[in-house]
Structure 1
Amino acid sequence: MKRPGPLLTLLAGLVLGLFLLTLDATTGTKTASSPYEEKSPSPAPTRSTVSPSPSPTPSRTPAPAPNADYAGRTDDDAAAIAVSVRDGRAIAYFCDGRTQESWLKGDVQDDGTLRLTGKNGAKLDGTLHDNKRIDGTVDVGGGHHAFTADRAKKPSGLWRATATVRSAKIDGGWIVLKDGTQVGILTRDGKPSPAPRIDPETGTVTVDGQQLTARPATP
């Protein structure tokens, strides 16, 4: 058997090369898209920021005046004055210790102001300051007096006694100041005179030989 010559071998190689070139041209080369292809991030949605409306500040309701007693003198030192406050009501007593007196009453407003009235046009206009003192003016019997009354501690304050002694109607009022001074008037059937001293610890007082008991005066 004869071996194929070099020419035959060369021709076979050329045919194989042409076949491979033709196959490559026919199929082409495709580039697959990567399943992890990076995508441009979508812009984050814009959130509108709305500032919440400020909550309305709750209005403060003034606290009512506490129950307390106040006692002092007029600025001209002509008389003493005492005020008793209970549950938004007030009673006041103006007394010169001789013949002139007046009982007044009214409300205490939320702002601490007082507008008290009494008989024969008597009136008191005052202001309560930090529950420590009351100052203002009082008009009694044609006189106009400025006054200051500090908060009182027992036994100082306002006292009153009413009774019938020997067929006479007795009405007594006393203002006990913080230094122990007492200013008061006792009326017998409407006739005023200086009041006898009371015992501020017990409220006892002797009137025309009869022992009475004065009590703290409140509205």
Structure 2
Amino acid sequence: MKHPGPLITLLAGLVLGLFMLSLNATTGEPVPTARNRPSVSPSPSPSPPAPPTPPPSPTRTPPPATTASAGPRTEYAGRTTDDTASVAISLRGDQAIAYVCDGRTREAWMRGPVEEDGDMHLTSSDTNAKLDGILSGGKVTGTVDVGDRNWSFTATKAVKPSGLYRATAEVRGAELKGGWIILQDGRQVGIVTRDGKPAAAPPIDPKTGAVTVDGTQLTARPVAP
């Protein structure tokens, strides 16, 4: 007599298969198997966050260039105490240029700073000359030395055409330099130097500065520091 065990096992498997087919037909979903089970891809690793963008460096705008204003020119003119020479001083800002002239053979140009209190000590770079003065009360008073001569002077404010004038040129191969002082009363004092030889200067036109020297017309112009 044969054992019924294998037969029962076969029938049980058949019944289970029919049940599963019936269940699949009812639900419409396939029974997951190792073959049709959807594969699950691993989630990608999150990218590391980008480093924060640093804020732009502030643009430093250079300060605007400043230009010191020289200010208007102020002139002073006058005579020495002994009335033998004239002195003129032109100021702009804290700088001054001065000219002393006797109208014959002695002259000197000097320049230098003016202190806040009006004190000035002007010197010449090419002659033994200096001017020590003080600006106060609308006038300059002081002393001026040219070589072995020393003068005391007073120069009051000069209004155009009064003031200090100068001309330079080359005439017939000779270097010519001229300096003029026009006083408040219209008088003129000046020297023209030809190749280092001084002589009295011809008068200039107060309105235009025109002057004729050795047959050549020149223009004397106001002097400023």
TM-score of the superposed pair, with normalisation by structure 1: 0.69
Aligned counterpart in structure 1 of residue 178 of structure 2, from 159, 172, 175: 172
| 2:85 aligned with 1:74 | no
Question: Match of 1:134?
Answer: 140
1:69-113 Cα shifts (integer Å, max 9, x gaps): 000000011100000001210000000000000000000001101
Counterparts of 1:181-200 in structure 2, within 5 Å, are: 181-200=187-206
Alignment match, 2:113: 107
Residues 65 and 113 of structure 1: CA distance in aligned 2, closer, same or farther (over 3 Å): farther
Cα distance in 2, alignment partners of residues 65 and 212 from structure 1: 28
Does residue 125 (structure 1) correspond to residue 138 (structure 2)? The answer is: no
Using the TM superposition, give the Cα deviation of residue 141 of structure 1 relative to its aligned residue in structure 2, in angstroms: 1.4
Are the equivalent residues in 2 in contact too, given 1:65–1:108 (CA < 8 A)?
no
Kindly provide the amino acid, as one letter, of the partner of residue 150 in structure 2. H
* Partner SS state of residue 151, structure 2: strand
- For residues 153 and 196 of structure 1, the distance between their equivalents in structure 2, rounded to whole angstroms, comes to 22
CA contact (8 A) 2:108 2:127 kept: no
- 1:1-219 equivalences under 5 Å are 67-118=73-124, 119-130=126-137, 132-219=138-225
CA contact (8 A) 2:79 2:86 kept: yes
Q: Is this contact kept in 1: 2:142–2:154, CA < 8 A?
A: yes
Q: Which runs of 5+ in 2 are unaligned?
A: 1-69
Say whether the 8 Å CA contact 1:126–1:136 is kept in structure 2: yes
Deviation readout 1:123-146 (Å, 9 max, x if unpaired): 10000013x110000011111110
Rounded Cα–Cα distance in structure 2 between residues aligned with 1:193 and 1:122: 19
Q: Give the SS at the match of 1:71.
A: strand
Stretches of structure 1 lacking an aligned partner (at least 5 in a row): 1-63
User: What's the % identity of the aligned pairs?
Assistant: 60
Q: Structure 1 CA distance, aligned partners of 2:143 and 2:218?
A: 33
Q: Contact 2:75/2:90 (CA < 8 Å) preserved in 1?
A: yes
Structure 2 CA distance, aligned partners of 1:201 and 1:104?
A: 26
Question: 1:65, 1:207 → 2: CA distance?
Answer: 33
Q: CA deviation at 1:218?
A: 1.1
Separation in structure 2 between the aligned mates of residue 67 and residue 188 of structure 1, nearest angstrom: 29
Contact 1:65/1:112, CA 8 A, preserved across alignment: no
Number of aligned residues: 155
Q: Deviations over 1:161-200 (max 9, x none)?
A: 0011111111000000011000000001110000001001
Give 1:120 deviation, angstroms: 3.0
How far residue 66 of structure 1 moved from its aligned partner, in angstroms, is: 6.3
Task: Report how far residue 67 of structure 1 moved.
Answer: 3.1
Q: TM-score, normalised by structure 2?
A: 0.67
**8 Å Cα contact 1:197-1:205 kept in structure 2:** yes
Runs of 4+ in 1 over 2 A off after TM superposition: 64-67
For 1:100, give the aligned amino acid: R
